[in-house]
Amino acid sequence: MSEEKITFNAKKGKWYVSKKLKIDEKTQDVEISRILISIEETLGKKIKDYLPFDMIQLEEIADEIYVSKKGRVKEEDISQALAKLKSPATTKKLGKLTDLKEGKDILKVVLTNIILERLGIKTHIDVKTMDKFIEKSK
């Protein structure tokens, strides 16, 4: 019977990451979810570095949609930002970064994540929150 485990290794230039978890009968599901969250978090941070698009221009497009503010985000800010995000004008701006429909689709996903993060809407579980959950649930 083969050993159960989760292994994630990546090396590109000076960037190297390794995340491992051996799974046995004592391993809890929450430990498995924690390492998967950690891997997802790592990937989320690095994916943008390797996309073949001008990420500075994408950030500028995001700035035109919504700039983070201190304090609580108002519902009208959320609705206005989402309307701008889905507008044909934004799609046209993305078209300046790529001619390919698939490229625009990729950029829309990245841009959506940028805007949602600025609005304080989380779409992923972060490791710190998971660690606190694990600690408090013991």
Whole-angstrom distance, CA of residue 131 vs CA of residue 138? 11
Task: Report pLDDT digits (tens) over 26-43.
Answer: 999 999 999 999 999 999
CB distance 91 to 109 below 8 Å: no
Q: Which two tokens stand for residue 121?
A: 């809407």
Whole-angstrom distance, CA of residue 93 vs CA of residue 115? 15
Task: Report pLDDT digits (tens) over 74-98.
Answer: 999 999 999 999 999 999 999 999 9
Name the percent of the chain in helix, strand, coil, to the closest 5: 60, 15, 30
Length of the chain: 138
The partner residues of 10 in beta bridges, in order of sequence, read 17
pTM over the 0.85 mark: yes
Per-residue pLDDT, averaged over 35-53, amounts to 95
Angstrom CA distances, 134 to 31, 42, 43, 48, 105, stand at 8, 20, 22, 30, 36
Residue type, 79: S
CB distance 42 to 124 below 8 Å: no
Band the pLDDT of 1: cuts 50, 70, 90.
low
Question: Using alpha carbons only, what angle is made at residue 43 by residues 11 and 25, rounded to the nearest 5 degrees?
Answer: 90
Q: Which residues are CB-neighbours of 114 under 8 A, at least 6 positions away?
A: 58, 59, 62
